[in-house]
Amino acid sequence: MENRLNSDVERLRFCNLALEEECRQLRHALQESEERYRRITLAVTDYIFTVTVDQGRPVHTEHGAACVAVTGYTADEFSVDPQLWYWMVLEADRSMVLQQAGRILAGEDPGPIEHRIRKKDGEVRWVSNTPVLQFDQRGSLLSYNGLIRDITARKQVESERETLIAELQAALAKVKLLSGLLPICANCKNVREDTGYWTQIELYLHQHSNAEVSHGLCPDCAKKLYPEYYARSLAAKGDGAGEGCPEQ
């Protein structure tokens, strides 16, 4: 019984070490992701468009020449089709863009928004849209600039970071579950969980670690439970050591 208990404790120790190594690898991956995020923020692509306003209505929009790098469309193409920018916005994000434009024309500064656009070649990109409003001396809106910045790479890194953080938290939770005192019944070897219920140690290890449990019989149990089989096994081996009893 003592040998089996020691074996169970050793399995738990091994699982705990494996989970700690997994946490170390996830932390390293998260650090690399953060470094990528820093480099990306230093190499963003952006351009400016300007909207002229008359009595609360947009009357003319001019896109900077760098718009082609972000959208795939030239400034001339935007000039020919004033609605082109709106139709580029993904349908799920259009209400957000319209709400921002409405607040601007009402004289409010809504701050930046982040939304998706579909480029000329069909590729979907994330952009940040930051307005800068210009007023006359009476406080009437004359025009506003929109700073469009491609943030697709940043969004991808953020998504990766969220996934890594979730995996790290899950791994840390497993380490916590397999740390500290583990109440094991001295007779049946069931494990008492935090809920107060008793669970077979094989099931507990399967639920709280990546360990796979196999079954067999140690020599002491084989001798106690199957004495005739044990005696025949010793006679066949001819060594009397009591080791190497076949697994059941």
Q: What is the mean pLDDT of the chain?
A: 80
CA-to-CA distance for 246 and 232, rounded, in angstroms? 12
More confident residue, 150 or 22: 150
Do the Cβ atoms of 115 and 96 come closer than 8 Å? yes
**pLDDT of 235 above 70:** yes
What is the model's pLDDT at position 145?
Answer: 94
Highest mean pLDDT among 21-25, 181-185, 195-199: 195-199
More confident residue, 162 or 56: 56
Please compute the mean of the pLDDT values over residues 62-81 and round it to a whole number: 92
pLDDT band of residue 43 (cuts 50, 70, 90) is very low
What is the model's pLDDT at position 167?
Answer: 78
Domain boundaries, the chain: 2-32+163-237, 45-150
Among 21-35, 71-85, 125-139, 169-183, name the one with the lowest average pLDDT: 169-183
Calculate the CA 113 to chain-centre distance.
23
pLDDT band of residue 218 (cuts 50, 70, 90) is confident
**pLDDT of 227 above 80:** yes
pLDDT band of residue 225 (cuts 50, 70, 90) is confident
Do the Cβ atoms of 69 and 45 come closer than 8 Å? yes
What is the model's pLDDT at position 169?
Answer: 77
Domain 45-150 indexed as CATH 3.30.450.20: yes
What is the model's pLDDT at position 63?
Answer: 94
What is the model's pLDDT at position 121?
Answer: 96
**pLDDT of 83 above 80:** yes
What is the model's pLDDT at position 161?
Answer: 78
Show the 3-state SS of the chain: CHHHHHHHHHHHHHHHHHHHHHHHHHHHHHHHHHHHHHHHHCCCEEEEEEEEEECCEEEEEEECCCHHHHHCCCHHHHHHCCCHHHHHECHHHHHHHHHHHHHHHCCCCCCCEEEEEECCCCCEEEEEEEEEEEECCCCCEEEEEEEEEECHHHHHHHHHHHHHHHHHHHHHHHHHHCCCCCCECCCCCCEECCCCCEECHHHHHHHHCCCCCCCCCCHHHHHHHCHHHHHHHHHHHCCCCCCCCCCC
- Which amino acid does the sequence have at 3? N
pLDDT band of residue 198 (cuts 50, 70, 90) is confident
More confident residue, 89 or 170: 89
CA-to-CA distance for 40 and 25, rounded, in angstroms? 23
